[in-house]
């Protein structure tokens, strides 16, 4: 497909603006343009076709099943977009005075109350803008808590599972803690013997996803919590997988002291490319004084922002956080009402249905009932036919499905991590099962076709690392300074390749 600059023809316009009659802006001489910007020149039909063609190449949860494990791609109800676009929400300015923002403050306060209840904890801050930022905020709270107790120098270590999402160790390092890993036992739980040997007076806390990234609920969570609390340490719950347990079991009751909630996963948001999202944190009462400011509080019948929190870690995001995300999540939760557990029950049922119908054709490293997701392995196909998890993922695209997460968690070789969510119908799940089974059969009959897949997508197998690490998102005008190293490195070919990517 040609780039829009390549379609550009001098003098063509998609629309023309009336000439303005405002006085010229006072722009300092050295900041003024000396030449007109080089924008693509194109007619409106060609412009519309160009971007429609690009959109058609995309695959999203609105175009098909998207079972990306741990990334929870569920349907985003359109009514939530209507609600968030009501003028009272949409046009609200963050500097608007509190008296004129009572409705918005009330929604935030109500959402905080609901999240505290879902987590079984006492206080919530909505500020962090993603799960990963919630992680960092939670660990900063941990640090502030130990500093307040005069234990900052001793409590240096945070323990994570060997199945942890990559953001967990990264957040531990960013928050200034030392990282220690604990192993997984034969049933997919934390290895208690390994844990006991590692927890001591230097331990600040544990960071754990439960259910884990294997889609398994830790069978010893009460003992795990006891080990940490007996050692004076805290427990952090990575709530990325909260979709499995809402209204059924609560992190606070399991013993966790700090939780982040990926609003954009569990409570539905359009998301992609790491956002836009929301990563509120919920905490036990002992940690409430350290939460970010301002806190949204209720005073009788009114709501206000409380900045007077002397022990607070400060702000972690502009204003109060991503407000539109709060409105959508609040609407999603209220649509379920007191039956929120139905959401999690359906997510778990859908995952177990897929698991039951796929485990005879793919390896299953931990043969247990799963929660909202499960991890298969393509090791059997690799051993017998040379077909890897990557090959299965690429071939699934020809069947019209987005691939599941692959090669994660790291402890499962040839991992295929599948999360259907609660919003998919049985027919969709059945079609996915048929595709996965057809690929397993094809691995034996015609592995070459799988190896060269996808056959029906606009591009085939790309150098994904290069596309991510050396993304060229500007048009390659010959003299473009940003593109010079790329060109030099690949003898000029890189730009063509990057365009395709
Ligand atoms: C288990 C787990 N933890 C943390 C995160 C980070 O969340 P976010 O993408 O909102 O930063 C993810 C994201 O996929 C995850 O799957």
Instruction: Write out pLDDT tens, residues 362-371.
Output: 999 999 999 9
CA-nearest residue for atom 13, ligand 1, is 71
Ligand 1 atom with the smallest distance to the CA of 130 is: 10
Question: Residue 225: which of 234, 212, 216, 217 has the closest Cα?
Answer: 234
Two structure tokens written together for 293:
């400011």
Ligand 1 in reach of 167 Cβ (< 6 A): yes
| Mean pLDDT, the chain, whole residue set | 93
Question: Residue 38: which of 486, 485, 482, 475 has the closest Cα?
Answer: 475
Ligand 1 in reach of 71 Cβ (< 6 A): yes
Question: Mean of the pLDDT values across residues 75-79?
Answer: 94
CA dist 68 and 55 (Å) reads 20
Ligand 1 in reach of 476 Cβ (< 6 A): no
Is residue 486 very low, low, confident or very high in pLDDT (cuts 50, 70, 90)? low
Residues contacting 282, CB < 8 A, separation 6+: 115, 116, 119, 121, 122, 123, 124, 251, 252, 258, 259, 261
Q: Which residue has the higher pLDDT, 17 or 78?
A: 78
Cα-based torsion angle of the residue sequence 52, 53, 55, 58 in order, rounded to the nearest 10 degrees: 160
User: Are 161 and 126 spatial neighbours (Cβ–Cβ below 8 Å)?
Assistant: no
Distance of CA 268 to the CA centre of its chain: 11
Ligand 1 in reach of 322 Cβ (< 6 A): no
Ligand 1 in reach of 132 Cβ (< 6 A): yes
- Using only C-alpha atoms, what is the Rg of the chain? 26
Two structure tokens written together for 415:
């991992």
Would you say residue 414 has pLDDT above 70? yes
User: Are 141 and 313 spatial neighbours (Cβ–Cβ below 8 Å)?
Assistant: yes
Q: Report the separation in Å between the CA atom of 326 and the middle of ligand 1, taken as the mean of its atom positions.
A: 18
**Residue that has been written with the tokens 């050692």 in this structure:** 231
Two structure tokens written together for 56:
């058609």
Candidates 138, 260, 262, 266: which one to mutate for ligand 1, based on the most atoms within 8 Å of Cβ?
262
CA dist 347 and 243 (Å) reads 7
Q: 406 has which bridge partners?
A: 416
User: Are 402 and 436 spatial neighbours (Cβ–Cβ below 8 Å)?
Assistant: no
Report helix, strand or coil for 133: helix
Ligand 1 in reach of 243 Cβ (< 6 A): no
Residue count of the chain: 501
Name the burial class of residue 449, with classes exposed (0-12), middle (13-18) and buried (19+) by CB atoms within 10 angstroms of its CB: middle
Question: Mean of the pLDDT values across residues 98-104?
Answer: 96
Dihedrals phi, psi of 499, to nearest 5 degrees: -60, -45
Candidates 66, 240, 266: which one to mutate for ligand 1, based on the most atoms within 8 Å of Cβ?
240
Residue 397, pLDDT score: 96
CA-nearest residue for atom 7, ligand 1, is 131
Question: Residue 172: which of 199, 144, 205, 195 has the closest Cα?
Answer: 205
Percent over 70 (pLDDT), the chain: 95
**Residue that has been written with the tokens 């240096």 in this structure:** 156
Please report how many Cα atoms fall inside a 13 Å half-sphere around the Cα of residue 448, on the Cβ side.
0
DSSP state of 318: S
Residue 18, pLDDT score: 83
User: Are 333 and 344 spatial neighbours (Cβ–Cβ below 8 Å)?
Assistant: no
Q: Which residue has the higher pLDDT, 283 or 338?
A: 283
Dihedrals phi, psi of 337, to nearest 5 degrees: 60, -145
């Amino acid at each position: 497909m040609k780039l829009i600059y390549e379609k550009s023809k001098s003098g063509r316009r998609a629309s023309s603006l009336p000439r303005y009659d405002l006085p010229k802006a006072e722009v300092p001489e050295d900041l003024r343009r000396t030449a007109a910007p080089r924008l693509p020149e194109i007619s409106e039909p060609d412009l519309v076709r160009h971007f429609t063609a690009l959109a058609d190449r995309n695959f999203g949860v609105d175009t098909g099943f998207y079972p990306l494990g741990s990334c929870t791609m569920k349907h985003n109800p359109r009514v939530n977009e209507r609600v968030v676009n009501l003028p009272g929400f949409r046009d609200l300015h963050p500097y608007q005075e509190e008296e004129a923002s009572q409705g918005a403050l009330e929604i935030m306060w109500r959402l905080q109350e609901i999240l505290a209840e879902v987590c079984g904890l006492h206080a919530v801050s909505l500020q962090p803008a993603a799960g990963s930022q919630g992680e960092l905020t939670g660990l900063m709270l941990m640090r502030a808590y130990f500093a307040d107790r005069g234990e900052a120098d001793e409590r240096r270590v945070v323990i994570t599972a060997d199945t942890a999402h990559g953001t967990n160790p990264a957040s531990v390092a960013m928050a200034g803690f030392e990282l220690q890993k604990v192993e997984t036992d034969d049933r997919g739980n934390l290895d208690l013997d390994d844990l006991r040997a590692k927890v001591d007076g230097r331990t600040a806390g544990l960071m754990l996803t439960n259910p884990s990234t294997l889609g398994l609920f830790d069978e010893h969570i009460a003992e795990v919590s006891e080990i940490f609390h007996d050692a004076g340490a805290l427990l952090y719950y990575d709530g990325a997988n909260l979709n499995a347990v809402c209204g059924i079991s609560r992190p606070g009751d399991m013993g966790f002291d700090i939780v982040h909630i990926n609003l954009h996963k569990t409570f539905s948001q359009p998301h992609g490319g790491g956002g836009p999202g929301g990563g509120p944190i919920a905490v036990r009462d002992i940690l409430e004084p350290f939460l970010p400011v301002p806190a949204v509080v209720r005073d009788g019948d009114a709501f206000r922002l409380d900045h007077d929190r002397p022990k607070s870690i400060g702000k972690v995001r502009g204003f109060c956080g991503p407000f539109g995300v709060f409105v959508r999540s609040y609407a999603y939760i209220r649509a379920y009402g007191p039956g929120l557990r139905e959401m999690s029950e359906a997510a778990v049922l859908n995952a177990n249905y897929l698991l039951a119908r796929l485990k005879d054709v793919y390896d299953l490293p931990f043969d247990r009932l799963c929660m909202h997701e499960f991890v298969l392995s393509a090791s059997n196909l690799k051993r017998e036919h040379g077909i890897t998890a990557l090959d299965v993922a690429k071939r699934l695209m020809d069947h019209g499905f987005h691939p599941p997460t692959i090669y994660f968690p790291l402890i499962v070789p040839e991992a295929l991590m599948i999360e259907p969510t609660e919003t998919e119908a049985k027919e969709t799940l059945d079609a996915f099962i048929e595709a996965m089974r057809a690929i397993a059969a094809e691995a034996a009959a015609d592995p070459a076709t799988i190896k060269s897949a996808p056959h029906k997508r606009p591009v085939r197998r790309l150098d994904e690392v290069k596309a991510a690490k050396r993304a060229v998102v500007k048009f390659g005008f010959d003299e473009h300074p940003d593109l010079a190293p790329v060109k030099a490195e690949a003898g000029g070919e890189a730009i063509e390749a990057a365009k395709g990517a």
